[in-house]
């Protein structure tokens, strides 16, 4: 994807190298429980914990000491910075395209904030870490992205490529568009009703059209960003969509498929809906609920 001459979005919070911050509470303790458990096994460890608690009560966040720093400065790989610049440019592209497109549907586009982090951070929707993966939080209107996910996308999921990375971000921006359109809140009500009735399978399945529609909206963005695409970019996005389909992930992690546990859709469905958005460029073609 060619974005060399494009602007970088300013709607970004770069938290790389920061600790999870005060207020992380029990979530922070769970995150670092293996280290804490090791410290509890010795008197010296108990002393360190006591010092940490005292420091926390005095206003210092001891979790920041567990973030990767060197000589007081965050340790960041050069590839991290390169990825960050690229992602900021992709975000700017989504701002321009959705800012132009959404008013045609009677809505003003208010861009989300992208939070870049490494390891762990806090969000309006709770604790975020590398294992959670990228996500959109409708509470604070922010997208949370651990850049380490792109390493996982290339190595673990065998889905390399810059447009694969762009597709992941565009998918999360798609959730923000759904939020602005009122779709997320409607689905959330139905999911809460299903959970209260004890039907977890129904709650899971209600999430599938949400995720597939976000894929389709990512395709809509791609439709209007075509002038920046290079040969092979669409294949990168389709490969990424395929590699993170529910059925593919279940086969690779447990050796068999459990459709009742699906939450994002099959590989085939994810590719299909991305292409529908890409080929049409129209939001109305992204009705995954019917």
Q: What tokens does 210 get? A: 């949400």
- State pLDDT tens for residues 97-138: 999 999 999 999 999 999 999 888 999 998 888 778 899 999
89 CB neighbour count, 10 Å cutoff: 19
Write down the pLDDT at residue 37: 64
Q: What is the per-residue pLDDT across 140-186, written as a single tens digit (0 to 9) for each?
A: 999 999 988 999 999 989 999 999 999 999 999 999 999 999 999 99
User: Hey, which bits of the chain come out as E strands?
Assistant: 12-14, 69-70, 73-74, 113-117, 120-123, 126-129, 135-137, 142-146
Indicate if the pLDDT at residue 38 is higher than 90: no
CA distance 189 to 196: 11
């Amino acid at each position: 994807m060619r974005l060399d001459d494009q602007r970088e979005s300013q709607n970004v919070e770069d938290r790389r190298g920061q600790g999870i911050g005060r207020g992380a509470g029990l979530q922070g303790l769970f995150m670092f429980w293996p280290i804490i458990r090791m410290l509890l096994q010795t008197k010296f460890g108990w002393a360190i914990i006591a010092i940490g608690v005292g420091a926390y009560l005095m206003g210092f966040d001891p979790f920041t000491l567990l973030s990767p720093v060197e000589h007081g400065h965050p340790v960041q790989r050069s590839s991290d910075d390169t990825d960050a610049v690229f992602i900021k440019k992709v975000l700017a592209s989504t701002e321009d395209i959705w800012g132009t497109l959404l008013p045609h549907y009677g809505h003003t586009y208010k861009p989300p904030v992208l939070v870049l982090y490494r390891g762990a951070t806090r969000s309006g929707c709770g604790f975020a870490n590398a294992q959670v993966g990228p996500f959109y939080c409708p509470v604070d209107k922010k997208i949370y992205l651990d850049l380490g996910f792109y390493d996982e996308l290339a190595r673990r999921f065998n889905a390399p490529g810059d447009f694969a990375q762009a597709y992941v971000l565009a998918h999360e921006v798609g959730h923000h568009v759904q939020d602005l359109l009122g779709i997320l809140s409607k689905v959330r009500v139905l999911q809460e009703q299903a959970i209260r009735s004890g039907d977890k399978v129904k709650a899971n399945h209600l999430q599938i059209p949400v995720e597939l529609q976000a894929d389709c909206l990512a395709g809509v963005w791609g439709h209007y960003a075509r002038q920046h695409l290079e040969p092979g970019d669409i294949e990168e996005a389709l490969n990424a969509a395929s590699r993170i389909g529910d059925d593919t992930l279940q086969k690779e992690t447990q050796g068999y498929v459990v459709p009742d546990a699906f939450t994002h859709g099959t590989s085939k469905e994810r590719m299909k809906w991305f292409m529908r958005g890409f080929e049409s460029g129209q939001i109305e073609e992204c009705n995954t609920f019917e």
